[in-house]
Amino acid sequence: MFAVVVALLLELQLQSTQAQALNAIDIPRVNTPSPGDWPQSNITGCGFTGLPYTNVLANCTEEIDPSAPDITGYWKNTATNETDELIEQCGSRWIDTSKSVIHDFPQCTGVVGDGLGCQDYSGPKIIEEDMLCSPIVTGCKFEEDEDGNKCVNLYTTNPATNTVTKVVSRCLQQDGKMIWVHPLAGTVIYEKVDVKDEPNCMKCMGGEFDGVTAYISEDELPCSYEEREWMRCSEEDMMTSSSSPSATPTTTANSSGNLKFHLSTTILSALFIGVVYATLTW
């Protein structure tokens, strides 16, 4: 009897674990915070005010598309030594997060306007024009450059010519660095941030609000984006703050999925203890 019950509990535990296996498409799209649903246009109020969203694809178990460069993680600009980009990948899904925006591409189909690319807001407009909401639509495609390096290339439609144009590229180099080519920023070389140095806060550096720190996305930093630094805060800083360091967006399935998993685990543990007790006293 005891063996049968234990086997049943183990089967339930396995089913609970398997329920956490999600493909990229199962996780809802995430957008940059804005005053309303996308697309908002010619109004202010778009962009992250505190810590950007992270771990959007944490529960995704699908293998990364073999044609994609594996550039998952935080990246720092080698010229400025500042961490300013987080990339998440799962299947053919690709997410790029910066201080101001999160650009979510549910599938890299290479087609602009098919509903599977990024439908979000322009980061430069948010930074340079007082958090102005300016909608953008772009598609991503996994390709190789002339040297055979795997790249994520972003395409959009040129309104003047109505033709699809490549606007941004990120290519993983043989030495592990990443080259980013952007029409406004030019060519930037990035290197991967060590896990121990991955950011967990956003802090105002210099100026009137020097030292003010955000630990969650709902925090509102008073400083401009130019004065914000995505950095690793110490455990002491985290302990003295009333904010939680987690910045997982509530718009994804992560929160509910984790809750279901913890509840099922708790229930199974309670059942197991009850069965053991009943067996010992039978």
How confident is the model over 190-212, as pLDDT tens digits? 999 999 999 999 999 999 999 99
Which band of pLDDT confidence, cut at 50, 70 and 90, is reported for residue 135?
very high
CA gap 121, 36 in Å, rounded = 12
pLDDT of residue 159: 85
**8 A C-beta contact, residue 95 and residue 102:** yes
pLDDT of residue 249: 53
Helix axes 2-18, 254-281, angle to 10 degrees: 180
The burial class, CB within 10 Å (0-12 / 13-18 / 19+), for 239 is: exposed
**8 A C-beta contact, residue 136 and residue 101:** no
pLDDT of residue 235: 79
Per-residue pLDDT of 28-46, as tens digits, reads 999 999 999 999 999 999 9
Q: Which token pair is 78?
A: 């080698």
CA gap 204, 185 in Å, rounded = 22
pLDDT of residue 213: 97
Query: How large is the average pLDDT for residues 63-85?
Result: 97
**Cβ contacts of residue 281 below 8 Å, gap of 6+?**
none
**8 A C-beta contact, residue 59 and residue 12:** no
Residue position matching structure tokens 């995430």:
30
The burial class, CB within 10 Å (0-12 / 13-18 / 19+), for 232 is: middle
pLDDT of residue 257: 38
Per-residue pLDDT of 221-272, as tens digits, reads 999 999 999 999 987 777 665 444 444 454 433 333 333 333 343 333 443 3
CA gap 82, 193 in Å, rounded = 10
CA gap 77, 180 in Å, rounded = 10
Per-residue pLDDT of 152-187, as tens digits, reads 999 999 888 889 999 999 999 999 999 999 888 789
CA gap 233, 252 in Å, rounded = 25
pLDDT of residue 237: 73
CA angle 48, 49, 52 (to 5 degrees): 45
